[in-house]
Structure formats: C-alpha cells, structure tokens
Amino acid sequence: MSLATAPGKIILFGEHAVVYGRPALAVPVTQVQANVEVVDSAEAETWIEAPDISLHTTFSALAPTHPLRSAIESVCAALNIAPFPPLRITIHSSIPVASGLGSGAAVSVALIRALASYFQRPLPADKVNALAYEIEKLHHGTPSGIDNTVISYAKPVYFVRQSPSPDGRGAGGEGQVFNVARPFSLVIADTGIAAPTKESVGDVRKLWEADKAHWEVVFDQVGEIVRAAKNAIETGATDSLGALMDANHALLQQMTVSSPELDRLVLAAKTSGALGAKLSGGGRGGNMLALVKPAAADSVASALKSAGAKSTLITIIQ
C-alpha cells in the first residue's frame, strides 16, 4: 500500500504579465490537498475511485487521453514497469476544481508519487515535475508549467515563461524555487464566480495589440512588483508585501481583469485589517487573496464572507 499527498497552489503576484515574459510568484496552499492511495487488487484489472467527482472506473475504460490514464502510463513507462499489476487507486481532493488552485496538477503529482512509491522506486521532484507537466498539457493544452512546478516542489516558485505560444498563453517555463525567511499568513476567498482564464487572457491580448507601448510599460511595472515581492519574502520583509499586492491589483484593474465582486472583496479585506489584497489568477471571478497578521486572519475571513465570498481559507506560507 502506498499513499501520497500534494498541496494546492495560488499565484501571489504577476498573473497576466507573465504571459508577456514577466516573472510571476506562486506558492503552495497546504490547507487543501490531493491524496492518492494505491493498493494491490484481487480484481482482474485496475480500478480507479475518485468519489469526490463520482468517478468509479477501470483503467481500460478511461479514454486514451484521460489525464489519470496518462499519469499511470507515464509513471509505468518512466519506471520500465510493463505490464503493471491490477491495482486499486483511490483519489480524494479537497482542492476546489477549476478555481485556479491547481487541483489537476495536484492530483497528477500525488498519483505519480503514490505509484512510484508503490513500486518502491520514488522519483526525484524534478522527474515528478516533468511527468506532471506532460499531464498538464492534457488538461490545459498550453499550460505555463507554474502549477506543476509549485506543487511538485511544494515551495514558492519564481517563474518566467520561456517562449510565446500562438494564443499568447504559456509554453512551458523556468521555475526557480526559493525560500521564505519569515512565515506569512494569507486569507484566500472565492468569489464563487466561474470565469474562464482563456477569456481574460484573450481580452488582455486585445488591449496589448491595440497599444503595445502602453501595456509593455504596465507589464514592466508588474515585473518590478514581482521582483520586489520575491526579495521581501527572501529577506523576511513580508509586511511590505501588502503594498505590493495593492499595487499589483491596481495594475490588474487597468488590465480589466478585476470585477465588481473581486473589488468588493479586496476592499472588504483592506477595511477589516488586511495589509494588502489582490485578485489572483485569471480574474473576473475566481479567487482573491489578502495578506494578514495571524491574529487578524479570522476577522478578515469573516469580513470577506459578509462581503459575498463563497468560501475562504487561511493559509501560512513558510
């Protein structure tokens, strides 16, 4: 029997500008997790159970491009295990799906680790990351690679994408893991509004195409914020992250990717004691985050609920 877990992730700074080659920072969110258990099975074939999404299926019934099938096949190929014995694979996840918290990448990483440990051949994080990136492509087409990197290393990552893809989204990138000198607390709140990242990315592209000179300056400003934030996290000057969040949110508003709901939550966080707040990820809906002193976390979370958040979670980045 073997068990593995992987955290969620959230983008701290730099979303959207990252599509244009500027850096972004993302951190693991350990309060939500994907868990995968792999055990021997007496059945004739491998069964996969994911009760949270009502999935109960055999391996062979999965479509050839299904991310779970691909994860199992790629681990077995990487370990030279063929054919693999009948298994029972059980997947649980408390990471909300399609909300920018990296649920797909976390399931992939936990599944890869659980299988590798079941076969008593644990894989190094860079190998797990490379396998998970291939599976991300099945989920997202052209992922930036930020989710699988943060989740595989379970560490903050400073990420720069490598080369543009025709639709302007990620085409892989370079993730640099870095350390947190002093832990800091975040409250993450979900607007409950599903907003496709593809649309907000497309709208920013239209703005950029109409006035490249202007938007390049804005993206440069985001890049400066991201570099300053990384420096603050590495040196323990975490209180200064609040002002950097506010500045990044203002630039995201200019990019038209905020929304009345997100702005209402950002304002509620600030007026209830947060040191700074911003939307996170694609925007227009999805999540926002607020930097808080640990003692203020509960009251900021309840202010966010009163201001319309569907759910909140408090996490410590360390």
CB of 39 to ligand PMV, least distance (A): 32
Q: Which residue is nearest to ligand PMV (CB)?
A: 281
The answer to whether 211 is a known catalytic residue is: no
Cα distance between residue 231 and residue 228, in whole Å: 5
Q: Which is nearer to ligand PMV, 100 or 242 (CB)?
A: 100
Instruction: Produce one character per residue of 174-204: b if its CB has 16 or more CB atoms within 10 Å, e if not.
Output: ebeeeebeeebbbbbbbbeeebebeebbebb
Q: Which is nearer to ligand PMV, 144 or 152 (CB)?
A: 144
CB of 203 to ligand PMV, least distance (A): 11
Q: Look at residue 57 and give its three-state secondary structure.
A: strand
Please identify which of the residues 40, 147, 167, 220 carries the catalytic annotation: 147
Q: Which is nearer to ligand PMV, 48 or 255 (CB)?
A: 255
CB of 7 to ligand PMV, least distance (A): 14
CB of 25 to ligand PMV, least distance (A): 12
Q: Which is nearer to ligand PMV, 51 or 164 (CB)?
A: 164
Helical H segments across the chain, by residue range:
67-78, 103-118, 125-140, 146-153, 197-210, 212-235, 241-254, 260-271, 297-306
Q: How far is CA 154 from each of CA 28, 38, 54, 126, 173, rounded to the nearest angstrom?
A: 6, 21, 27, 12, 17
Q: Which residues bind ligand PMV (CB under 6 A)?
A: 11, 15-16, 18-19, 100, 144, 169-170, 197, 201, 281-282, 286
Active site members: 147
